[in-house]
Amino acid sequence: MRARAFGLRTRLLLAFLVVAAVSAGTTAALTYREARNAVLQTAQDTAVSSFRDQVQQTAFGLPPQGQKAMEDMLRSIARRGRPHPWVVFAEYGSIRASSGENRESTVITPELRRAARANPRGSFQRVVKDGVPYLTMAMPTVARFGPDTSVPSGVIMYAVMPMTDEQVNVEALMLAARDGALPGLVIALIPGLIAARSVLRPVRELRKAARSMGSGQLDTRIKVRGSDELADLARTFNESAARLERSVTELREAGERARRFASDVSHELRTPLAGMLAVTEVLDEDADHLDADTARAVRLVSAETGKLAVLVEDLIEISRFDARAADLNTDEVDVAETIRKTLLSRHWTDGRVVTELPDGIRARLDPRRFDLVVANLVGNALRHGEAPVTVRLTAPEEKALVLEVADSGSGIHPDVLPHIFDRFYKADAARTRSAGSGLGLAITEENVKLHGGTITAGNRPEGGAVFTVVIPLHAEGAGG
């Protein structure tokens, strides 16, 4: 069987991978965030604490010393920077000094300056400039005039520390999280395949069992494994299959008993009916010599006995089809000539039946059964429809013979059409009362099917019912 692009296995694996990817991605993202924060927080805390200590240990006088002395002091503080070297800046009014080449920093923001003036314990800020991260720190200084006396000096110290090492470490953490998540997804395929197999195996067994039951193997059962929902499904299937098998077996037995009963009764009635028919024939011959009431009774008995004989013969015939005992005794015949013989033997040559029978159409048919098909269709049209009845024979492209029997009546009621070939069905509401057995069209259909053909019923646009028989051609002249 062709594999489905998005079958149940694929959908299960995709769902499993999506869950694994979300889990791995979430874990990696949380791990990366915590590790990144830890790296940056550690470097930040170390630098801020160290800078605060350095500033507090440095003595400032008022007014501040000269710029040269201030720069030397800033270089001394910068050399002691941790965890990385700093660039230290000092601002006092309009005086600017630094431990580096530039007296003013381009990464110190106005927000940091405002925070430094407002907070005597200092402030810090992380800044990214040209793709490089920096930690900027600000600390106001005080001037001491004794062990317990200090006043703000007005000098604000700034330190700028590049955090390139931390950035490298953070990027390494991100790569490690990514590289760890990808193999995890690949490894997740293994339990995904195992889970998909454990789910799909009972589903495949259920599909196989359903197909087996559909083909007629009603004793099919599924092996129950475990106690999960799939096991419950297997048990339910087995219980339903067992009930269905019992029901079908009972129906088959009941149908077989009914067919055997009809067949046995029909055969048992055949012998006494033969005697009754012989008696009624004798009574019919003497009916003219009897009084009127007796003659009428004799003719009624004779007519009903004839109907009963027809019913018995039809029951015997339909029982052969039910028992699959009906067979074909085919012969190559001229179809038009066979139809003419059928009409002639039933005395339907008095103008009530119009024929369109081209010669030269030959086919392998069972003459007796084809005779019954034609006789039943024409007789049905004469009884229930109106004359003239048209019998038309064609052979389109010499592949099949098509026989159409159409009457000139009012047609078949739409409610009747679906049941027209049902056994014992009489369309009393649509046509005149039937005197037949109710099996004629059912037997006709079975005879057509026995020839490998089909029969349909419908109504003509101009009025009247039409029955169409299509039987494949098997004549030598038609190429088989």
For the purposes of burial, counting CB atoms within 10 Å of the CB of 38, is it exposed (0-12), middle (13-18) or buried (19 or more)? exposed
pLDDT for residue 2 is more than 70 = no
Cα–Cα distance measured from residue 430 to residue 457, given in angstroms and rounded to the nearest whole number? 14
Residues 6+ apart with CB under 8 A from 324: none
The token duo for 416 is 């009747």
Single-letter amino acid, residue 332: E
CB 215 within 8 A of CB 35: no
Q: 161 in helix, strand or coil? A: strand
CB 390 within 8 A of CB 360: no
Confidence of residue 9 (pLDDT cuts 50, 70, 90): low
**DSSP-derived secondary structure letter, 241:** H
472 DSSP β-pair partners: 400
Mean local confidence (pLDDT), 167-175? 76
Q: Pick the residue with more confidence: 27 or 402?
A: 402
pLDDT in tens, 379-411: 989 988 888 999 999 998 888 999 999 999 888
Tell me, what's the pLDDT at 181?
67
Tell me, what's the pLDDT at 368?
92
CB 409 within 8 A of CB 386: yes
For the purposes of burial, counting CB atoms within 10 Å of the CB of 204, is it exposed (0-12), middle (13-18) or buried (19 or more)? exposed
336-356 burial code (b ≥16 CB/10 A, e <16): bebbbebbeeeebeeeebebe
Tell me, what's the pLDDT at 196?
66
Tell me, what's the pLDDT at 475?
43
pLDDT for residue 185 is more than 90 = no
**DSSP-derived secondary structure letter, 462:** T
Tell me, what's the pLDDT at 147?
59
Cα–Cα distance measured from residue 123 to residue 136, given in angstroms and rounded to the nearest whole number? 9
Confidence of residue 1 (pLDDT cuts 50, 70, 90): very low
Tell me, what's the pLDDT at 237?
85
Q: CA dihedral defined by 405, 408, 409, 413, rounded to 10 degrees?
A: 50
Residues 6+ apart with CB under 8 A from 345: none
**DSSP-derived secondary structure letter, 233:** H
Confidence of residue 462 (pLDDT cuts 50, 70, 90): confident
Cα–Cα distance measured from residue 455 to residue 469, given in angstroms and rounded to the nearest whole number? 4
Rounded (5°) CA angle 262-264-268: 115
Lowest mean pLDDT among 188-202, 293-307, 393-407, 433-447: 188-202
- How far is CA 149 from each of CA 63, 204, 441, rounded to the nearest angstrom? 16, 89, 126
CB 241 within 8 A of CB 209: yes
The model's pTM: 0.48
Tell me, what's the pLDDT at 357?
93
N-terminal to C-terminal alpha carbon distance within the chain: 35
Which of 157, 155, 150 lies closest to 64 in space, CA to CA? Answer: 155
pLDDT in tens, 207-226: 788 888 888 888 888 888 77
pLDDT in tens, 308-342: 777 777 777 777 777 777 788 889 999 999 999 99
Count CB-CB contacts under 10 A for residue 276: 17
